Amino acid sequence: MSNAPLADQNLAQLANWLMYSAIAVYLLAFVAACAEWAFGSRGPGMRASAASPAVRAAQQTPVAPSRGRTRSAAVGGATGSSTQVLAPPATARPEALVTGTGDGPGAAGGSPRADLVGRIAVSLTVLALLLHFGSVLARGLAVSRPPWGNMYEFSTAFALMASAAYVGLLAARRPVRWLGVPVLFSVLLTLGLAVSVLYVDSAQLVPALHSYWLWIHVSAAIISGGVFHTAAVVSILYLVRDRWERAVAGGGAEGRGAVLWRRLPSSQTLDKLAYRLTGLVFPLWTFAVIAGAVWAEAAWGRYWGWDPKETWAFITWVAYAAYLHARATAGWKGRRAAVLGLVAFATFVFNYYGVNILITGLHSYGGLPTN
User: What mean pLDDT is predicted for residues 136-143?
Assistant: 92
- Please indicate, yes or no, if residue 158 is contained in any of the structural domains: yes
Instruction: Tell me: do 216 and 300 sit in the same domain.
Output: yes
Please enumerate in sequence order all residues whose Cβ is within 8 A of that of 347, keeping only pairs 6 or more positions apart, or say none: 312, 315, 316, 319
Instruction: Tell me: do 225 and 292 sit in the same domain.
Output: yes
Check residue 195 and give its pLDDT.
95
Cα 276 from Cα 269, distance rounded (Å): 11
Instruction: Tell me: do 140 and 246 sit in the same domain.
Output: no
Domain finish residue from 137, 170, 205: 205
The predicted-structure confidence for 28-54, as pLDDT tens digits, reads as follows 999 999 999 888 876 554 544 444 343
Check residue 42 and give its pLDDT.
64
Q: What is the DSSP letter of 178?
A: G
Q: How confident is the model at residue 232 (pLDDT cuts 50, 70, 90)?
A: very high
- Please indicate, yes or no, if residue 2 is contained in any of the structural domains: no
Q: How confident is the model at residue 366 (pLDDT cuts 50, 70, 90)?
A: low
The predicted-structure confidence for 311-333, as pLDDT tens digits, reads as follows 999 999 999 999 999 988 867 78
CA atoms within 13 A on the CB side of 193: 13
Interior/surface letters 87-114, b for 16+ CB within 10 angstroms, e for the rest? eeeebeebeebbebeebbbbbbbbbeeb
Q: How far is CA 77 from CA 63, 73, 82, in A?
A: 18, 5, 9
Check residue 110 and give its pLDDT.
80
Q: How many domains does the chain have?
A: 2
- Please indicate, yes or no, if residue 356 is contained in any of the structural domains: yes
- Please indicate, yes or no, if residue 36 is contained in any of the structural domains: yes
> Are residues 311 and 286 in contact, defined by beta-carbon separation less than 8 angstroms?
no
Decide if pLDDT at 302 tops 90.
no
- Please indicate, yes or no, if residue 175 is contained in any of the structural domains: yes
Instruction: Tell me: do 180 and 251 sit in the same domain.
Output: no
Instruction: Tell me: do 227 and 348 sit in the same domain.
Output: yes
- Please indicate, yes or no, if residue 95 is contained in any of the structural domains: no
The better pLDDT of the pair 241, 107 is held by 241
- Please indicate, yes or no, if residue 325 is contained in any of the structural domains: yes
Domain finish residue from 205, 222, 242: 205
Nearest to 114, CA basis, from 41, 173, 167, 171:
41
Domain finish residue from 205, 227, 255: 205
Check residue 151 and give its pLDDT.
87
Instruction: Tell me: do 167 and 259 sit in the same domain.
Output: no
The torsion region of residue 238 among left (phi > 0), alpha (psi -120 to 50) and beta comes to alpha
Instruction: Tell me: do 184 and 225 sit in the same domain.
Output: no
Q: What is the DSSP letter of 90?
A: S
Please enumerate in sequence order all residues whose Cβ is within 8 A of that of 32, keeping only pairs 6 or more positions apart, or say none: 117, 118, 120, 121, 124
- Please indicate, yes or no, if residue 278 is contained in any of the structural domains: yes
Instruction: Tell me: do 201 and 334 sit in the same domain.
Output: no
Where do the H-state alpha helices sit in the chain? Answer: 9-40, 44-48, 53-60, 73-76, 94-99, 112-143, 151-171, 180-193, 213, 219-249, 258-261, 267-300, 308-328, 335-349, 355-358
Instruction: Tell me: do 173 and 271 sit in the same domain.
Output: no
Check residue 203 and give its pLDDT.
72
Nearest to 231, CA basis, from 286, 172, 273, 189:
273
The predicted-structure confidence for 156-211, as pLDDT tens digits, reads as follows 999 999 999 999 999 988 889 999 999 999 999 999 999 999 998 877 666 667 77
User: What mean pLDDT is predicted for residues 254-259?
Assistant: 70
**Residue 276: CB atoms within 10 Å:** 12
Its domain, for residue 195, covers 8-45+106-205
Instruction: Tell me: do 132 and 184 sit in the same domain.
Output: yes
Instruction: Tell me: do 243 and 193 sit in the same domain.
Output: no
Q: How confident is the model at residue 271 (pLDDT cuts 50, 70, 90)?
A: very high
> What's the sign of the alpha-carbon dihedral 306, 312, 313, 317?
positive
Instruction: Tell me: do 147 and 289 sit in the same domain.
Output: no
Q: How confident is the model at residue 3 (pLDDT cuts 50, 70, 90)?
A: low
